[in-house]
């Protein structure tokens, strides 16, 4: 007759001590251990990336538009130049922005092209809008900007030109133009 042995229990240290801890206590200990590990990882990340130079992001450079642009511009400004600049901004949002031409085949326009089409032949209103726009651009980028077309053509995307049209509309409204 073979000898049989009772199955041995695995040794896990002081078994009585672990069974004395409640679930909440074990969760708290695990949370504390994970917090320490995350803090160590954060410090290690800071050390590994300290040599990388980063420039702060100007949140004004981030253009936010609705996922589905509305077909109507927001509440129009009451002054004529501000309303024109706002319509030009909306035209570029919905019809596209371009550089190097007033109008492209696909309907995209530059800043002056959008102002011109929205002015509907009123050359005085168009000139006032371009003057306010140039003033807004120079306030932001300095007096080295020669003209609105040169500013428009200096950009590879419409993000900043669109933002400047919007800011110029606010400036014209503030001035009562």
70-127 pLDDT, tens digit per residue, is: 555 566 788 999 999 999 999 999 999 999 999 999 999 999 999 999 999 999 999 9
- As a whole number, mean pLDDT of residues 141-163 equals 93
Residue holding tokens 């954060």?
42
More confidently predicted of 22 and 65: 22
In degrees, rounded to 5, the angle at the alpha carbon of residue 93 between the alpha carbons of residues 91 and 96 is 80
pLDDT (0 to 100) of residue 78: 86
Q: Give the torsion sign (CA, 166, 172, 176, 177).
A: negative
Q: Which of 142, 154, 151, 136 is nearest to 81 (CA)?
A: 136
- pTM comes to 0.59
**How far apart (Å, rounded) are the C-alpha atoms in residues 94 and 114?**
11
pLDDT (0 to 100) of residue 55: 74
Please give the mean pLDDT across all residues of the chain: 84
């Amino acid at each position: 007759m073979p000898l049989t042995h009772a199955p041995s229990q695995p040794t896990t240290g002081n078994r009585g001590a672990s069974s004395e801890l409640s679930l909440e206590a074990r969760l708290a200990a695990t949370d504390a251990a994970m917090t320490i590990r995350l803090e160590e990882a954060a410090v290690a990340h800071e050390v590994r990336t300290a040599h990388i130079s980063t420039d702060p992001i100007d949140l004004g450079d981030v253009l936010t538009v609705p996922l589905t642009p509305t077909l109507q511009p927001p509440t129009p400004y009451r002054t004529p130049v501000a309303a024109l600049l706002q319509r030009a901004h909306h035209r570029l949002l919905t019809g596209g922005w371009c550089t190097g031409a007033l109008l492209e085949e696909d309907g995209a326009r530059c800043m002056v092209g959008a102002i011109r089409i929205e002015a509907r032949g009123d050359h005085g209103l168009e000139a006032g809008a371009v003057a306010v726009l140039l003033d807004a651009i120079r306030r932001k980028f300095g007096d080295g900007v020669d003209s609105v077309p040169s500013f428009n053509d200096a950009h590879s995307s419409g993000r900043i030109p669109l933002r400047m049209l919007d800011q110029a509309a606010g400036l014209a409204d503030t001035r009562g133009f």
